[in-house]
Chains A and B, each alone.
Chain A
């Protein structure tokens, strides 16, 4: 089955700097790659996603890149703000009813 690896597990950046989180996946059939943000005790919130027919997607300060050949995808947050502090999870799934498989998460701390 699918296996998703996520790095780093913790990340601290100064406010205004960029943050990058990287994930790799194992199943070449996976074609959907979302990123979720989870604040303490709350539900994961979808912040951006990408499908295998595109290589990059951007939404304001957040961007995601995908390299299908290498089976890795990354989340980029620019101009970080304290409210960006949370745990971020990457995930992957194939089409149909296959469930998302999550990475272990990255705890991002943005220091003011």
Chain B
């Protein structure tokens, strides 16, 4: 199956700093990437949909100025958590749509963010 790489896998930062997470489709072109957030023992909550070359579409309640998404190429999308606070601590997972199956989303390994 298609491979999606996500980095870093774990990050610890101080409150007020910004953190960038990268999501790459390694063997296919992903015109659309998605960013999810997952709290412990909960489901994946969609944060935003990212289309290459255009502005991301954010879900209701997600602050676009806090969670900056860039999708500059068909294989790379980035999520920057700006001025992170402890309540932003969570598991962030990206996914990419493309490859051989229309509709199929392949997930990155996730990034565990801990804000002190």
Number of A-B contacts defined by CB within 8 Å: 54
Which residues of A pack against B, CB within 8 Å? Answer: 32, 34, 36, 41-46, 49, 51, 89, 93, 95, 97, 99-105, 107
CB < 8 Å neighbour of B93 from A43, A97, A101:
A43
Q: A43 touches which one: B46, B101, B102, B108 (CB < 8 A)? A: B108
B105 contacts across to A, CB distance below 8 A: 34, 46, 99-100
Whether B32 contacts A44 by the Cβ 8 Å rule is no
A46–B43 touching, CB < 8 Å: no
Assembled-state Cα–Cα distance A32/B106 (Å): 14
Known: A43-B108, A44-B107, A95-B103. A102 touches B43 (CB 8 A): yes
Q: A102 to B44, Cβ gap below 8 A?
A: yes
CA distance A49 to B104 in the complex (A): 9
| In contact, A44 and B44 (Cβ under 8 angstroms) | yes
In the complex, how many angstroms separate the beta carbon of B26 from the nearest chain A beta carbon? 14
Contacts of A95 in B (CB 8 A): 102-103
